[in-house]
Structure 1
Amino acid sequence: MTVQDLAANYLSTGRIDGLPDGHFIGGRFTSASDRKMESFDPARAEAFAEFSLGTEADMDTAIEAAEKAAKDWARALPSERCRILNNVARVFHENADRLAVLEVLDSGKTLAEAQGDVQSSARLFEYYAGAADKLDGRSVNLGPDLTAFTVREPVGVTGHIIPWNYPTSTFARGVAPALAAGCSVVAKPAETTPFTALVMAELLSEAGVPDGLVNVVTGLGSDVGAKLARDPRIKQLTFTGSVTTGVNVAQTAAPNVTRLTLELGGKSPLVAFEDADPEKVADGAYWAIFSNSGQICSAGSRLILHKSLRDEVLAILTERASNLKVGHGLKNPDMGAINSDLHLGRIKAHVDAAKARGANILTGGDVTTDPDTGKGWFFQPTIIADLRANDPAVQDEIFGPVLSVQNFETEDEAVELANGTEFGLMASVYTRDTGRAMRVAHALDSGQVSVNDYWAGGLELPFGGNKKSGYGREKGWEGLDAYTKVKAITISNAS
């Protein structure tokens, strides 16, 4: 069935066929547990399926399967890993329509956004397939009497705690480099987005990934997630989520000295100087905050405007935001739903508090629904202007379609405002002055900086944060570092 057929069938019946039942362990779906949890379509605020609530025993079985599979995979020829990962990318492309529809129903995002996520997921496997046979060490010159070199070895069993905002691409950006490096995988998807990880694991098996190499256990973070974090057999743990949960994960894993990659929160600034094109700034800010309904760690949730640009940029941006159409993601509206009722309440609480402080809300500011059905978890595109540096709307990660606007006069003031939160994940600079762009880019305490295009970059570049946005890097060549350990070998040549 085409993506249009799949979407039309679901919208008319409220059902989707062929959903996984149980966990994916050892190359197959296990028997479904009696413990179940409903999975909700955020755009309808209605359950469309059930999935298994895993236990610690389920997670133990998955880790055991991964530990067994890791030994053979670590010895596999790099060229064989390369071949299989390229085959994974092909199988993902062949199943792109099914994955995209599942991504919409799991997360609430638009179909176009989900299709982009699936394509980037396939591309991640292509990229790391090309790295699998190029994980070389280096020769070190210690003089004629010694031969010294380094090798990169797989760390072993890796754990992956997947967030709900990008369940498909975040799964791929951890699993692909882990497999390329020779590691095995145990993944735990978020409770609100269980299905794409299960289907992707099945497709990996179909593409030739050996049994037990990739395992997925669904359930609660307090149960199976905590077990994954504290198990000493996990040699690398990759977590994406909130700062609070990330700290808990780190504390849980600490007694085993488990290697960690933490990609946590963000409150990323788009800084626009007086020479920037107002239309381009407004367009960049629009996509930076309203993509995926603002539910992006690296969303451009702060717009820091030179005072001379303020009125023109905000007039353009407010008009676009007020005309933005929300709706069911399968109908491809401008903006999709908020992932859960719980998170919708959190966004509303942040904005209500700003209203109570007398904030200047230019547009939006409240909960809404799908205009076609009157259902769903949606929040209006919201712009809050002229905020002080210490305002909670500037300092706190709202993680929704809420843009906080600040104003500045000098370059130093702009940098101070941009660096003025506890986060440091993403930043963008808009200016025609190349020298200024370079000065500010170097001055910003952020894991990545773009110039004149907020989402410029790609999966070939490392991604990760500074400060409370986390540590470690995913994507790019640097994404392999978490899954390899370096060994130095020295041979005496003396007779």
Structure 2
Amino acid sequence: MNRTLNELVAEARESGTLEGLPQDHFIDGQYRPGTTEEHLETFDPGTGKPFARFAAGGESDIDRAVVAANRALREDWGKATPAQRSRVLTAIAQEVREHADRLAVVESLDSGKRLVEAQADVRGVIRTFEYYAGAADKIQGDSLPLGADYVGFTVEEPVGVAAQIIPWNYPVGTAARGIAPALAAGCAVVAKPAEQTPLSALLLAELAWRAGLPRGVLNVVTGTGAAAGAALVSHPDVHHITFTGSVATGQHVMRSAADNITRVLLELGGKSPVAVLADCDVEAALDGVLGAIYENAGQICSAGSRLIIERGLHDMFMDRLLQRIQKLRLGHGLANPDVGPVNSAQHLSRIDQHVSAAAGRGNLLLTGGKTVRPDSAPGGWFYAPTVIAAESAGDPVVQEEIFGPVLVVQKADDLDEVIALANGTDYALVAGIYTSDISKAYRFARQVDAGQVYINEYFAGGIEVPFGGNRKSGFGREKGLEGIKSYCKLKSVVAKI
């Protein structure tokens, strides 16, 4: 019988862990130890202490998983009808729903995010599998108008084995948004979660198998990027790679994929602008700006990390924004504070170095700018919610992704300058605008280079909305019906009659 959320939280807070967490890879329908006995530790960012061990996989483990995935395509899963795939995805959604509390607590422990955020992520997983369950039997081609003497049509076929390289900031959510459409299209999957957050992908694979997914269709190999990740993206029997992570690592993935001409989808970094015009609903804009940068402690590729504000509204808006920021409470994720920890000691140091360097170059630190130790979680990795007024549009604090609770503020005289500043980095993932003038909003949406634009609500939409970036933010789209296309290959058939 499933334990209640309160019971799971109490166990985690008292013991520092949960019983029964997986320690092995999930390959070919069951947990299997690695080919070596080496294990790594995963840490609770709210305490700075390890709470679980997991297998340190490598090339041989990846090869076992890829072999299992290819075999599944030749056997049960390759022969399943679209309707059968749909029923399995529906069953997975239900299985996740039944174990949602445990999955959310594990996700909070592993990533550090607030429990309410982890719960929302798990609800998103359920919705993702429901959505693609509904799409699995609607993947269809077109008829081609070739005249009376020919019949022509196209067929969408599964691309094959799809590799998933899963990041540490949204482990279970990002896993689902790649795995679900891949399964809906008829692919098999080998996933490699980040070494900082390995557990939720393993649990998701187990739940999928319990729901009736045939063995070998979904495999998870844990380990470092250098050992397991590199082996996966360079494997000759992998047919597609979905990677979410940094620009530098994405470049390595592309180079590895090139050797085997493997298809790649990249969702990389961002330095996304939130534009606030003088005619906006100020309360809505304040809420939106806060959520855009401080949700998940700012560790979101699409975080609204740049506030571009019209000069006439600037002083009043910033006074109110800073008052709200300075009241934010930090603490362990399971305690549901306003802001949780960052994911690792290494990342905490990286954020602090970014901010210290920015201040040293003359940018004005308005609040925060330091590591903190909350009384309720003195051993965790916390950074104060920070706001920096940028000295110039070309400063690294404007141009570089910090990936933490750090908001950079820029002023603009009018909409034209807002748009110019919004387009002023190498990234093009997301942009948002707050205004009561719909014409200005649509002009902003048309002229700003971004994969998605939010109007009067940051992070609006859900699994139905295609997501992805341009320029150094990557290419390809996940989510929505566009997300299935990444896992299909188009075949054209023409017959003379």
Inter-partner Cα distance in structure 2 for 1:97 and 1:373: 22
Shift of 1:386: 4.3
Shift of 1:490: 0.7
Inter-partner Cα distance in structure 1 for 2:264 and 2:167: 16
Matching residue of 1:20? 22
Report if aligned partners of 2:390, 2:397 keep a CA contact under 8 Å in 1: no
Matched position secondary structure for 1:133 = helix
Match of 1:52 among 24, 32, 55: 55
Inter-partner Cα distance in structure 2 for 1:239 and 1:387: 34
Inter-partner Cα distance in structure 2 for 1:387 and 1:313: 19
Match of 1:40 among 35, 39, 43: 43
Matching residue of 1:182? 186
Matched position secondary structure for 1:473 = coil
> What does 1:98-117 correspond to in 2, within 5 Å?
98-117=102-121
Matched position secondary structure for 1:21 = coil
1:76 aligns with 2:80: yes
Cα displacement string for residues 448-470 of structure 1 (whole angstroms, at most 9, x for unaligned residues): 00101111111101000001000
Matching residue of 1:236? 240
Matching residue of 2:495? 491
Matching residue of 1:277? 281
Report if aligned partners of 1:387, 1:404 keep a CA contact under 8 Å in 2: no
Matched position secondary structure for 1:308 = helix
Inter-partner Cα distance in structure 2 for 1:200 and 1:373: 29
Match of 2:393 among 368, 389, 396: 389
Segments of 5+ residues of structure 2 without an aligned counterpart are none
Matching residue of 1:169? 173
Matched position secondary structure for 1:346 = helix
Q: How many residues align?
A: 493
Match of 1:352 among 331, 335, 356: 356
**TM-score with structure 2 setting the length:** 0.98
Shift of 1:429: 1.2
Cα displacement string for residues 208-240 of structure 1 (whole angstroms, at most 9, x for unaligned residues): 000000000000111110010111111000000
Which shifted more, 69-78 or 482-491? 69-78
Matched position secondary structure for 1:191 = coil
Inter-partner Cα distance in structure 1 for 2:53 and 2:81: 40
Cα displacement string for residues 153-199 of structure 1 (whole angstroms, at most 9, x for unaligned residues): 00111100000000001000000000000000000000000000101
> What does 1:64-463 correspond to in 2, within 5 Å?
64-72=67-75, 73-463=77-467
Report if aligned partners of 1:173, 1:474 keep a CA contact under 8 Å in 2: yes
Which shifted more, 308-317 or 117-126? 308-317
In structure 2, relative to structure 1, the CA distance for the partners of 1:3 and 1:387 (3 Å cut) is farther
Which shifted more, 189-198 or 451-460? 451-460
Matched position secondary structure for 1:456 = coil
- Aligned letter for 1:40? F
Inter-partner Cα distance in structure 2 for 1:259 and 1:327: 41
Cα displacement string for residues 261-312 of structure 1 (whole angstroms, at most 9, x for unaligned residues): 0000000000111211222222111000000000000000000000011111
Shift of 1:381: 0.3
Inter-partner Cα distance in structure 2 for 1:139 and 1:157: 28
Matched position secondary structure for 2:354 = helix
Matching residue of 1:31? 33
**Could you tell me the percent identity over the aligned residues?**
52
Matching residue of 2:478? 474
**TM-score with structure 1 setting the length:** 0.98
Cα displacement string for residues 379-407 of structure 1 (whole angstroms, at most 9, x for unaligned residues): 00001124310111110000000000000
Inter-partner Cα distance in structure 2 for 1:15 and 1:189: 20
Report if aligned partners of 1:282, 1:314 keep a CA contact under 8 Å in 2: no
Report if aligned partners of 1:324, 1:335 keep a CA contact under 8 Å in 2: yes
Inter-partner Cα distance in structure 1 for 2:342 and 2:240: 31
Report if aligned partners of 1:162, 1:240 keep a CA contact under 8 Å in 2: yes
Matched position secondary structure for 2:402 = coil
Report if aligned partners of 1:85, 1:176 keep a CA contact under 8 Å in 2: yes
Inter-partner Cα distance in structure 2 for 1:478 and 1:10: 39
Inter-partner Cα distance in structure 2 for 1:373 and 1:121: 29
Matched position secondary structure for 1:309 = helix
Runs of 4+ displaced beyond 3 Å: none
Inter-partner Cα distance in structure 2 for 1:395 and 1:373: 32
- Aligned letter for 1:372? S
Which shifted more, 273-282 or 372-381? 273-282
Matched position secondary structure for 1:303 = strand
Cα displacement string for residues 295-350 of structure 1 (whole angstroms, at most 9, x for unaligned residues): 00000000000001111111111111111001011111111110000111110000
